[in-house]
A and B are shown apart, each in its own frame.
Chain A
Amino acid sequence: MKSRHLHISILTVFIFLAGWELVVRGLGIQIVILPAPSLVVSALYAYLLSGDLVSDVLATGRRIILGLGLGSLLGIGIGLLIGWYPRLRAAFYPLVAATFPIPKIALVPLMIIWFGLWDAYKIVLVVSGVFYIMVINTMAGVNGVNRVTIMACRNLGARDSDIFRKVALPASLPIIFAALRISFSVSFILVIAAEMIISEVGIGYFIANAGQLLETEKVFAGLALTAILGFLGDQLIGWAEKHLSPWQRPTRSRP
């Protein structure tokens, strides 16, 4: 999205919300079916004032950050190793490939049995989702490093450890970041789902609870909150990417 078209984007959002408000009021749609956006905003405001919004965001955020952090560290590490060493790949890739297709949400009962009802279960669930995405993409990244570039570096005197650290790792960064973006959205899905299943704090818990009480405006407030957090999280990863792989930035005009 180019910022010089920002006013168009804002206008579209405004028209969408105004249309929604008018349709709901004009047709007299019941709150429980579809609340007007103004009601959603006031529900969000009440949510903020109660203090629950902050504690829910902190709880959900903590679970995502820990799960995403642990899962991607583990995934990137193992992905680099099995991407670089054919023997390790032969040993471990079949195991990864065989367990990858299991829908991670199906692990919930097992995770609850092993890790209890609270934070640990949710974090491990996120780790399980993030891990595979990171392993498979990192491996592909390392594998895809240009052969001639590797030859050139060996010729210049680089040892295996130099090539691993100074060539394979940076060459894989763009793919690793793309995978991190996907992992972030997956970890968001898994945390919200896990909180809906069982929790006492968190945005997923707030949405599920509001739904059970037929407080539809609160459900929408929760959804709006997830949209905002998702957007902010993605921006944060984009910012980190720009700083860690600056060579990917759009071409500057030649001096």
Chain B
Amino acid sequence: MVDSDIGPVPALEVRGVSKRYPGWRRDLAEVRVLGEVSLQVAESEFFVLVGPSGCGKSTLLRLIAGLDTPSGGEVHLAGDRVVKTSPEAIVVWQEFALLDWRTVEGNILFGLEVNRISKSRRLELADHYIELMGLTPFRHNFPSEISGGMKQRVGLARALALDPPLLLMDEPFGALDAQTRMIMQEELLRIWEGSEKTVLFVTHSLEEAILLGDRIGVFSAGPDARIKEIVDVNLPRPRLPTVRASADYTRVYDRLYQILREEVVKTISREATSGRP
């Protein structure tokens, strides 16, 4: 069993969720992306998912966000079953997914507008999150005029402005350079530590996983991917980048690497035999 008992009502509960897509041609076999995935994340927990590329981590995130329906199983947020997407769980996307025609401020206002928040409150919230994310100098710039790191700050500010209990982060720093990434990790920790938010964070980077997470779920290689093992990260918080030098860090890293390596090798050999990625 990978799910442990963690309190009465978990912030997020994934119960035996599977996802299959029909073949894109009738004579092709269906694609079984996720096997039965079960997971419980406690309130205010920072949970990280790692796994071989293409294993379905992002698919799981979309199912949790209610942007796609599971083929089997259920997703519950704070006890309520997810049937459609809602601002209770907001996704921060690797590709930012900002609106090119809106300024930094306009992008942050978008979610507030469509949720019919009053104008004065909207501006107040936008002000607050622009300030919090250090976006003040870029307030009136368009996304095409700012760097990747700044774009993802907008993505995060836009999500936070709706005050979702759960943040779903889909490789949010994957498109950023290593230095920017480190700064963003620090800022994310700072914001999360000062809030009650639950975070589900997908990444390829084991370093990032250990630096950020309370627990790390390792996915098995697809098809029928599932969470193979959950590793606890018992490193003290607040965590500084220097945590990388500690013996505990190395121990968790080695453990994760061991589990993941097996799965990545499986993925590679399957790709080699099928002749396509």
* Residues of A participating in the B interface, judged by any CB pair closer than 8 Å: 146, 148-149, 151-159, 162, 166-167, 170-171, 173, 245-247, 251-252, 254-255
Contact = CB atoms under 8 A, between A and B. Distances in A.
Interface string B106-136: 0000110111000000000000000000000
Contacts of B65: 155
Nearest to A150: B97
Nearest to B87: A157
Contacts of A159: 114
B100 A171 contact: yes
8 shortest interchain CB distances as A-B pairs: A152-B97, A156-B111, A247-B142, A170-B101, A158-B114, A157-B115, A162-B114, A247-B101
B91 A155 contact: yes
Contacts of B100: 171, 247
Contacts of B91: 151-152, 155
Residue of B86, B111, B114 with most chain A CB atoms under a 10 A cut-off:
B114
Given A247-B144, A254-B147, A156 B114 contact: yes
Given A153-B110, A156-B114, A158-B114, A173 B97 contact: no
Nearest to A244: B101
Contacts of B143: 247
A156 B113 CA distance: 10
A252 B137 CA distance: 14
B146 A254 contact: yes
B162 A156 contact: yes
Contacts of B102: 247
Contact of B114 (A157, A246, A251): A157
Contact of B110 (A166, A247, A252): A166
A247 B101 CA distance: 5
16 contacts: A146-B97, A148-B95, A151-B67, A151-B91, A152-B91, A153-B99, A154-B85, A155-B67, A155-B91, A157-B111, A157-B114, A166-B110, A170-B99, A171-B100, A252-B145, A254-B145
Nearest to B89: A155
- Grouping DSSP codes into helix (H, G, I), strand (E, B) and loop, the A interface class, with mixed when no group exceeds half, is helix
A154 B89 CA distance: 12
B158 interface: yes
Given A148-B95, A151-B67, A170-B99, A157 B147 contact: no
Contacts of A251: 144-145
Nearest to A253: B145
B93 interface: yes
Contacts of B113: 162, 166
Contacts of B158: 156
Interface string B73-102: 000000000000111011101010111111
Residue of A146, A157, A170 with most chain B CB atoms under a 10 A cut-off:
A157
A146 B96 CA distance: 12
A151 B99 CA distance: 12
A173 B101 CA distance: 10
Nearest to A156: B111
Nearest to B97: A152
Nearest to A255: B137
B117 to A, nearest CB: 10
B147 A153 contact: no
A151 B89 CA distance: 13
A151 B145 contact: no
A241 to B, nearest CB: 13
B196 to A, nearest CB: 20
B67 A154 contact: yes
A156 B87 contact: yes
Contacts of A255: 137-138
Given A154-B85, A155-B85, A157-B87, A149 B99 contact: yes
Given A149-B98, A156-B114, A251-B144, 4 more contacts: A151-B67, A155-B67, A156-B115, A247-B143
Contacts of A162: 113-114
Contacts of B111: 156-157
Nearest to B115: A157
A157 B98 CA distance: 15
B89 to A, nearest CB: 8
